[in-house]
Structure 1
Amino acid sequence: MTLDRFRHVADRGLSPFVRAADALGLSPDGVSVVAFACAVAAGVAFGLAEPAWYVAGSALVFLNGWLDLVDGALARERGVASAGGDFLDHVLDRYADIAVLVGLAAGIDAYALGLAAVTGVLMTSYLGTQIQAVGIGREYGGLLGRADRLALVGVAGLLAAAVPGPLVAGYGVVSLLLWLFAVVGHATALQRFRGAWADLA
């Protein structure tokens, strides 16, 4: 998890966006829903697999990630941060992950690889919350956090637009990205499992 370490830096730039959301009358939950809609739209764009749509998908992914910061900041600004809002945010984040990865996989007709990537990402998240459920505490360890994944997807979309053909060993940018998420996701999930199992033993 690299980019999560710099979250405090990103927080400094949130104020204008928090004020804008407030002026529009959006609630923190409303911002979460808008962020989710951006992710779904990104998945559709990636599924079209054309250079212009890859660029559009990348922009929407970056917007999803930014709004995912704004909703929490808006809740804190209004003093309405709650367990319910956090729960909604996490659920929508998981569905957003699915929408984006399914779109990427559909765009290159790599459904099995897409399934491996989706399950890797979801199992990483699941192990974190399940570890919390058994009383050990929320586990965020691992190589790729959500901020890292969104950044990689955004950059990969731009690269896929610029380099539409094979890049390494016959694999294109999107295929390589899905392989990364599949391998690292499941490795991280197993890493979290082993650590929690040792703590519970």
Structure 2
Amino acid sequence: MTLDQYRSVSDRLLTPVVRVAIRLGLTPNAISVVAIATAGAAGAAYWLADPGSMLYLLGAFLVLANGLLDVLDGMVARQTETDSPGGDLIDHVLDRYADILLLVGLAGGTGEFAIGIAAVTGVLMTSYLGTQAQAVGLDRVYGGLVGRADRLAIIGITTGIAAFTTVSYRGLSLVGLLLVFFAVVSHVTALQRFYYALRALE
């Protein structure tokens, strides 16, 4: 996982946006709802896209928006001192639905539903292991090969490229290969988090 290491950089860059959001009276929960809407729109764009379609580029921009909004809601909550366990729960639940919408959209657009199922279950297990560690008394685990910030960046970059190419390998389009990547790496990440938590409990 790499991008979470630069959270302080993104926080500094988004500080002016946070100020504007607060002046407009936007609440963290409202921002979270807009974020899930962008994920749903991206998933729909991916489902309807063909190789080389500009819908992939649209989806890439929507994924970028989802990632920025996901950071923004937490920053607004902290700045306005409205962060709470309930808000954290809402944020995590909507993030998981966003993950599902994006991956199901990618699977639907490629027709690779079996690989999509493997990718979705891996991503959900990655997130589950991160929070389950906290449930058994450890700190929340964010480690492993690919975290959510990395995942969104990879989806955005790959689908942005997919808008301009129809390259394929062994019958799989670039987006199909992206699903294979997540199907493998997300399960590896989940197992890494499981191993870390288990060792920490010994």
Asked if Structure 1 and Structure 2 have the same fold, meaning a TM-score greater than 0.5 normalized by the shorter chain, the answer is yes
RMSD, matched Cα:
1.3
Determine helix, strand or coil for the equivalent of 2:13: coil
- Count of matched residue pairs: 200
Q: Note if contact 1:21-1:31 (Cα within 8 Å) is conserved in structure 2.
A: no
Superposed displacement of residue 145, structure 1: 0.8
CA positional deviation for 1:65: 0.3
The residue that corresponds to 1:98 in the other structure is 100
Q: What is the 5 A alignment of 1:21-36?
A: 21-36=21-36
Task: Write out per-residue CA displacement over residues 54-85 of structure 1, whole angstroms, 9 at most, x where no aligned residue.
Answer: 11100000000001111111112212111111
Aligned-partner residue type, residue 44 of structure 2: V
For residues 73-119 of structure 1, the C-alpha deviation after alignment (integer angstroms, 9 at most, x for no partner) is 11122121111111111110000000000000000001110000000
- Matched to 2:59, the amino acid is G
SS of the residue 2:47 aligns to: helix
**Cross-structure match for 2:66:** 64
Q: Is the 8 A contact 1:29 1:85 kept in 2?
A: yes
Alignment identity in percent? 57
> How many angstroms does 1:20 deviate by?
2.7
How far apart, in 2, do the equivalents of 1:173 and 1:19 lie?
39
Cα distance in 1 for partners of 2:5, 2:199 equals 26
- Give 4+ residue runs of structure 1 displaced > 3 Å after superposition: 198-201
In the alignment, the residues of structure 2 paired with residue 112 and residue 68 of structure 1 have an alpha-carbon distance, to the nearest angstrom, of 28
Unaligned runs of 5+ in 1: none
Q: CA deviation at 1:26?
A: 1.4
1:126 partner letter: Y
2:141 aligned with 1:149 = no
- Equivalent-residue separation in structure 2 for 1:34 and 1:160 (angstroms): 25
**Counterpart amino acid of residue 16 in structure 1:** P
CA distance in 2: counterparts of 1:137 and 1:181, whole angstroms = 25
Amino acid at match of 1:163: T
Structure-to-structure mapping, 1:1-201, within 5 angstroms: 1-50=1-50, 51-166=53-168, 168-201=169-202
SS of aligned partner of 1:162? coil
Structure 1 length-normalised TM:
0.94
Matched-pair contact (CA < 8 Å) for 2:130–2:142: yes
Q: Which runs of 5+ in 2 are unaligned?
A: none
Q: Which amino acid aligns with 1:187?
A: V
Give distance in 1, aligned partners of 2:94 and 2:158. Answer: 22
